[in-house]
Structure 1
């Protein structure tokens, strides 16, 4: 085991999330050591590929090793705030996972990074943050670190289980929570059976990671205290928007306007760009071409994109249309799955839906929909015919008990054809 670390040393974390995990990340980043949070469920082959690229000085695979690594850190680093961002890996759905690298931050930029999160989410020493998602993902770790930096505490019930989460709410009275829509759907279904707990303790509930079905969003507004629920749009690379649910109700389908200190623009092809302050710049680890492709200079500053598509209305509200790799081209017409999902998700007998394309000899691709719920194919076809132009209407509907999702709640859209036997 290492007894000392140097700034910019990378430490690969292949252990489940815990309070000790977050404590280690905070202590390490305050002295410039770079935690690399990695999904501990990776296969050996996936793990080797990531580690060969990252080249960590230490690989932590057990809670005991995590405790030993913590002992090798300075107990009281000179910087009160992180001097580096954890190097998270992007999902890799379009290729090998890429590390998102911020470099070592100057003290001024380090302070600005912490202040931006603190000022937006109003972290305080009285906060108790409920951790629902794995901490190797960027958003749950970011909310956890923001809470700890403000002097608050974490509530970590373990792997997501609606009953365990409900008990934690009742017994520990958390004040904040980050979640994905899939968490909300499972919690609401559980509360329909056992009753809704007292949620008055919450001052902030933020969700992101996937499109939220309108019925779930409406239930969120109804159950939690007024002006406590938020949606935001961001990525492993950086954050774009934040939006109170009340704003969403006034602008249905939006993911909000640009966060303070940032600005948005959309190209003619729909690609979303975000101008960020210097403390939010990043590169892809050992991938200069990929880094260069995602950045450009504007008259307002440096802007980045992750390839997502959308539109801005006259008031600056952003509406997502999907990711470029999700694009379905049928008969030469571009169809964005998120747009179709937002429509079908409004059917009262649809609990969840994912739209995807499969090869078609005549059209190139045809639009298909995997649906969770009681709606029949005939009912959905009629519903879509009233709300979508012909190219956007799914040609086939498939019923599933649940959609395949990542740990952060994103639908594994590219896996659906194989799951349904459509990839032959």
Structure 2
């Protein structure tokens, strides 16, 4: 069933109920259904690249393509014409053997993003589980404070509409306008570094759905549902009570030689145009994107250790950046931190930390000595007022590595 069918159903039941609220205004379910049921010229099997700057119009147009049996491909509206042409080169205009679906780009900060194709069912089938975990329903107002080009935020907006709730879609992190967007919100979809900013404002939130395994604190009085996933894998594990990540419903996990493998109904089909990427499958349907995890026992907690391709090789030892980052985030004044390897003529790489916030090097080194093995401790320290981030709000590691020499040394 097309995802857009949920909107049509809600429009018949509650046509005046607000569906989408964005910078250009608000549309009701009746208005949204009328928008997506117009003839947009889409046909089954079409791949429809979309890069509209207004998030309300973007989502409406994507749902129209979905309703027609086409596959919307959500592009970044900030791309220049040249960048868009380069990213879309080689991607076909039609998809053979396609029953419709959705496609989003991975959030790479440099290089050419990869388009990930999935079926509509790989999203819609998980809706009931997220509903049970969060209690999201028709009377909720859900803040989705990021660009729909990110699969995290695109999923959040579509799930909100499937639930018959109101999606508040600023199209980006709203910054100084956050309080206004939060005014009526009862639910927010966030990444970990956004949660403290949200809590600084008066709000009516009862649930925060947080994508990312690096959540440190759970504020009292707010139900936090933290989860781990990937564009290629969708939901993998969830922590709804603060006791740690456990497999999301209908998801199987295995850890093979330190690498996490997943089998579930929520997996994407793969990359468009034969693009190469970290997604790999075996003959039994198990899939990985190279994330690392500690040994796992069925029914137990899943402990992640970061991405295998981000590991730092230094003097013959392997350092996982996320292990170091988790310790350094405890330092007072640290908003966020990225750990990466920078070249060294003898060691290959040395552990390097880029810190967001006013923490002192003395405080950072004191915590590093107390919580890290000698090989894990950063040898080079940089500071940044604000870390560059991808459209999902995650630190743009590749870009940070490129601009390292432009940052202030601690």
- The question of a shared fold, defined as TM-score above 0.5 by the shorter chain, is answered with yes
The counterpart of 2:264, out of the listed 271, 276, 279, is: 276
**Partner SS, residue 48 of structure 1:** helix
In structure 2, what is the equivalent of residue 64 of structure 1? none
What is the number of residues matched between the two proteins? 364
Match status 1:207 vs 2:196: no
Match status 1:197 vs 2:202: yes
Equivalent positions of 1:107-256 (< 5 A) are: 112=125, 114-170=127-183, 173-188=184-199, 191=200, 196-199=201-204, 202-209=205-212, 211-212=214-215, 214=216, 217-218=217-218, 221-222=219-220, 225-226=221-222, 228-238=223-233, 239-244=235-240, 246-247=241-242, 250-251=243-244, 256=245
Whether contact under 8 Å (2:369, 2:377) holds in the other structure is yes
In structure 2, what is the equivalent of residue 333 of structure 1? 317
In structure 1, what is the equivalent of residue 10 of structure 2? none
Equivalent positions of 1:29-40 (< 5 A) are: 29-40=66-77
Instruction: State the Cα RMSD in Å.
Output: 2.8
**Partner SS, residue 318 of structure 2:** strand
Whether contact under 8 Å (1:118, 1:146) holds in the other structure is no
Match status 1:87 vs 2:103: yes
More helix by share: 1
Q: Distance in 2 between matches of 1:351 and 1:296?
A: 39
Cα pair distance change 1:399/1:3, threshold 3 Å: closer
Using structure 1 for the length normalisation, give the TM-score. Answer: 0.77
Cα pair distance change 1:85/1:183, threshold 3 Å: farther
Question: Residues 199-232 of structure 1: CA distance to partner in whole angstroms, max 9, x if unpaired?
Answer: 2xx33211125734x3xx34xx23xx34x21111
Mean alpha-carbon deviation: is it higher for 36-45 or for 2-11?
Answer: 2-11
Give the superposition deviation at 1:25.
2.2
Whether contact under 8 Å (2:102, 2:119) holds in the other structure is no
Using structure 2 for the length normalisation, give the TM-score. Answer: 0.80
Match status 1:296 vs 2:282: yes
Structure 1 consecutive aligned stretches of length 4 or more whose deviation exceeds 6 Å: none
Unaligned runs of 5+ in 1: 58-82
Match status 1:16 vs 2:53: yes
Unaligned runs of 5+ in 2: 1-37
